Amino acid sequence: MTSNTDMSDSDEGLGRLVRAVNFAAVAHRDQLRKDGRTPYINHPIGVMNTLVQLAQCLNVDTLCAAVLHDTVEDTDTTIDDIERHFGPNVRSIVAEVTDDKSLPKERRKELQVIHSPHISPSAKLVKL
């Protein structure tokens, strides 16, 4: 289930990405953006689109992680759920960009700054 394949390399990669978008849409189904009107799923889809359009990223694991990046923070999805459905590579990227919501926002931001030099290139893209 893990893959470092490029989107242009396989139909399997496209299928995994579609499953990730659906998983995120279901997980975020009752959430709205801060404006109170826009479905939250627009944000992770937008992140994924930015990676494709501006960063020319076609790596399946990175794109899956982009669309799944807020599921662990903002829904009842666990990091183990991510691994079970999308493999250890996607799990690793999502874990790198997931904040501990039990900490105050200021501390979470401090930790992002501290950890940012040490995260993977894929996680850096998702954090853009």
Element (H, E) at 126: helix 121-127
* Catalytic residue annotation: 73-74
Residue 48: strand, helix, or coil = helix
How many other C-beta atoms are found inside a 10 Å radius of the C-beta of residue 61? 25
Residue 6: strand, helix, or coil = strand
Residue keyed to tokens 């992002």: 112
